[in-house]
Amino acid sequence: MRVSKAKAQANREHIVETASVVFRERGFDGVGVADLMAAAGFTHGGFYKHFGSKADLMAEASANSLARSLAGAETLSVKDFIDMYVSRAHRDSRATGCTMAALCGDAARQSDDLKSTFAEGIEQMLQTLGGNYPIGPDAEPDEARVKMIDLLARAVGAIVLSRACPDDSALADEILGVCRGEIIESLSAKA
């Protein structure tokens, strides 16, 4: 039975969305094509009707989830973003949380194409956060960007370090609390 173009596109989008969740949960190398397709409710044989390779799906799924992460950050102040991002709720939501915190380590060992996808997502996040960072009239032109690179690196690092600890570890919560407090204090020092 032939599938309409609209249904084929809907199926592809569903596979990409499912893959973005599964990749964040298990990593790029922690899941095979057969498992991805099964998670999406399809057979392994249909994969190559949609994608040329697993690497193609990795890039598309990453771009999809990076864009979704960005959509949530657009309306938040930088402080509210940090409160939400450097939190136990985010730490415990690997499959639905930030793609950068879940997959940057994996992306570093992948192709330049996938690294470019991450670089574009990181750049977009920096621009979004920088646009929400209040700077005074005497500020240097790149002050917001410098601040956002530092802030994003510390926030992502806090989640990664916290996730490396056992779930019930006091250290996991301590890392989040200290980092969130220090980041917010550095924002207050600017004001």
CA 11, CA 174: separation in Å to the nearest integer? 42
CA 7, CA 27: separation in Å to the nearest integer? 28
CA 156, CA 152: separation in Å to the nearest integer? 6
pTM exceeding the 0.85 threshold for the entire prediction = yes
Question: Of 3.40.50.300, 3.30.200.20, 3.60.40.10, 1.10.357.10, which CATH number belongs to 5-190?
Answer: 1.10.357.10
Per the prediction, the chain carries an average pLDDT of 90
CA 66, CA 89: separation in Å to the nearest integer? 18
Percentage above 90 pLDDT, the chain: 70
Q: Are the C-beta atoms of residues 87 and 32 closer than 8 Å to each other?
A: no
Determine which of 11-15, 19-23, 56-60, 138-142 has the lowest per-residue pLDDT on average: 138-142
SS3 content of the chain, % helix, strand, coil (to 5): 75, 0, 25
For the segment 84-107, the average pLDDT, to the nearest whole number, is: 94
